[in-house]
Amino acid sequence: MRILSVDDKPENRYLMEALLKGNGFEVQSAGNGAEALELLARERFDCILSDILMPVMDGFELCRRVKADPRFREIPFIVFTATYTGPQDEAFALRIGAARFLQKPCEPDILVAAIREVLASARSAELAPSSIDAEEEEVLKLYNQRLVRKLEQKMLELEREIDARNRAEDILRRSESDYRRLFHSIRDALLVLDIHQRITNCNRAFVDLFGYPLEEMLGQHPSFLFEDQARYDRLGTELQSLSDDSTRIYQIRFRKKEGVVFPGEANVFRLYDDKGQMTGYIGLVRDVTQGVEAETQRQQLAAQLLQAQKMESIGRLAGGVAHDFNNMLSVILGYAQMALNKTGPGQPVHEYLLQIADAAQRSAEMTRKLLGFARKQAIVPREIDLNQAVAGMLKMLRRLIGEKTSLVWQPQEGIWPILIDPTQVDQILANLCVNARDAMDQGGTITISTGMVSLTESLPLSHGRLPAGEYVVLRVSDEGCGIEPSIREQIFEPFFTTKEEGQGTGLGLSTVYGIIQQNNGFIDVHSNPRRGTAISLYLPRHHPAPRESVGVETAVPRGRGETILVVEDEEGLLRSTSALLTSLGYTVLSASRPTEAIRLARAVPGGVHLLLTDMVMPELSGNELAQLLRTFFPGMHCLFMSGYSDALAAEEQENVQDQRLGKPFSLEELASAVNAALHRRP
């Protein structure tokens, strides 16, 4: 489907094209209503998305003309604007034929959904043709008059500015001394040229900016002030065709006397004598370095915002997937463990059930890794074997780097334990391996190795010093293009990247640096241009506290007939959890919706001892359900289940003070959590 996007701001048109093309639409843009009509006359479009306030022709006028033209009136028209957003403007837009009126800012998915709805309505002929009665024509006339008055006011302002400029020029011509005083007091750099474009004069600001005194420049063509001789030649050609009243702004890169190049803006005007004969040119030069830097920073911030929005969307998607996936894993684990309790270790099916339970647990670990990559998993450092953590990531890393790149794994045996969250190790490996892959255009080998080092004195590294102590080393090396010495100090800065636009965010190495700093580690970088890079990470050895030996395995806590109300909207998980609790000796009531749960609870003569509920459900959240039931049963205990990570659950249920049970859970985890909740003071 082809969309015509009409907006006078280039940045708005760019963002709209990116959004719509990313959702499968073809997009053509216009800067105002007149340009849009020209495009409509030449090309076919399925929908028009237009701003209101634009030069030449505004969005209301464009809509009116489109709906008045038999060739275009069937094309659905959507008004999308940040101005004129009162109810009268919306009603006016709909009366003249607009299919929808949307206000900026608007969530991208809402905008795309609105476009699809309008297109679907147009295909099914649900959009009624526009009809403008006499009253609406009068409204349109008044609106046009208002626009005309605004234009007239703007013309008066411009005329006053022109009059003021003419008076200033008259004053300059009347008095040479006044001219010089004003000329040299102007902060913008001024350069005067004769009719042959040779330098005749300049002000003090010009000397201060470029470093050349007037004596060195007199009689010369100003080409030495330009970084590019070809740009100077083009400017000279443009000046020859410059009309008397033209005032253009040229973007030029200038060169100072000491060789420093800077971005500038130049205005060039023709000079005339009292008889109206042209005598030369005057050029006004501004150093716009700060403006260019500010614009660059603005674009970087916009890109960072877009990246943050993407990461937020990915995180929410990951959270939703984890929730549903963990529900299914809980069902698998529950039934597998109930079946295990009914079979003996010697039976073949017992081994099969053990494999099913083990696969479910490993799947839960994969879900935690997914949340870790999306930065939705709570960071919980624990003692790990780095070799095992890396080995568990190798399959995923090989998929990540592609077939052109080979991966070599070189672990050192008997490695010391370290204290770190396993998902952070996954993030480190993913970021370093992707960077290494991108550094090898034609493919190559990435080597991951581990080691140990014990230091009696500090060791200098590329980024700081490594104190004396015992460390586990993780090293990732490649055969790529290497890192230039001039930028090595910047590689860990957020959003710094040497990749082409759109190829990288500059967050990979900064993420690695942050994780290492968080875990009291150190980084060393060795790199030679065109000879590869090796990044070594030093993590402190963890000395675990001695563990007391356990002689007898702790028994699974069982119930004594307490009444538990289980509320879960996933039917499979509801049945498996209820069956597990029944097998543990509890009296179980089960409900798939909060309203059903309230009805069941109020019908129990002795009341409900424990509410076991999902945190996110239709109708009411788990916390809201608990608060409502506690008005009937003040002593009721609560235990909340969640398929999200702990961090996400805490974010969405800030006021929940009761215990939580993460999905998926084993029989032992369920039994322990229920027992702890029942013996906790409400």
For the segment 616-669, what is each residue's pLDDT rounded down to a tens digit?
888 888 888 998 898 888 888 999 987 664 444 444 444 445 678 877 888 888
pLDDT band at 121 (very low <50, low <70, confident <90, very high): confident
Judge whether residue 149 has pLDDT over 70.
no
Residue 201 is predicted with a pLDDT of 92
- The mean pLDDT of 561-565, rounded to a whole number, is 92
Measured distance CA(419)–CA(163) in Å, rounded: 75
- Answer for the pair 50, 8: CB distance below 8 angstroms, yes or no: no
Looking at residue 540, the DSSP 8-state letter turns out to be E
pLDDT band at 147 (very low <50, low <70, confident <90, very high): low
Q: Range with the lowest mean pLDDT among 75-79, 174-178, 289-293, 606-610?
A: 174-178
Helix (H), strand (E) at residue 90:
helix 87-95
Residue 449 is predicted with a pLDDT of 95
What pTM was estimated for this model as a whole? 0.40
Residue 606 is predicted with a pLDDT of 79
Do the bridges between strand 532-540 and strand 469-477 make them parallel or antiparallel, or are there none, so unpaired?
Answer: antiparallel
Judge whether residue 47 has pLDDT over 90.
yes
In 3D space, the residue among 248, 254, 209 whose CA is nearest the CA of residue 232 turns out to be 254
Residue 307 is predicted with a pLDDT of 60
- The mean pLDDT of 422-441, rounded to a whole number, is 85
SS3 499: coil
What is the per-residue pLDDT across 97-113, written as a single tens digit (0 to 9) for each?
Answer: 889 988 888 888 999 99
- Answer for the pair 235, 254: CB distance below 8 angstroms, yes or no: no
Q: Which residues pair with 9 in a beta bridge?
A: none
Looking at residue 268, the DSSP 8-state letter turns out to be E
Catalogue the E-assigned strands of 195-351: 199-202, 249-255, 261-272, 278-287
Residue 656 is predicted with a pLDDT of 47
Residue 648 is predicted with a pLDDT of 41
Judge whether residue 489 has pLDDT over 70.
no
What is the per-residue pLDDT across 362-392, written as a single tens digit (0 to 9) for each?
Answer: 777 666 655 555 555 556 688 999 999 999 8
Q: Range with the lowest mean pLDDT among 232-241, 316-325, 379-388?
A: 316-325
Question: 375 to each of 263, 347, 635, how far by Cα in Å?
Answer: 40, 43, 37
- The mean pLDDT of 573-578, rounded to a whole number, is 89
| 123-137 b/e (C-beta count within 10 Å ≥ 16 → b) | eeeebeebeeeeeee
Give yes or no for a cis peptide into 422 (omega within 30° of 0).
no
**Exposed, middle or buried by CB within 10 Å (0-12, 13-18, 19+), for 460?**
exposed
Q: Range with the lowest mean pLDDT among 475-479, 538-542, 614-618?
A: 614-618
Dihedral angle, C-alpha 604, 605, 611, 613, nearest 10 °: 10
Residue 267 is predicted with a pLDDT of 86
**Number of alpha carbons in the 13 Å side-chain half-sphere of residue 159:** 6
Residue 605 is predicted with a pLDDT of 84
Question: 405 to each of 230, 435, 436, 444, 499, how far by Cα in Å?
Answer: 44, 12, 9, 5, 19
Judge whether residue 540 has pLDDT over 90.
yes
Measured distance CA(464)–CA(536) in Å, rounded: 13
Q: Does residue 183 or residue 470 have the better pLDDT?
A: 470
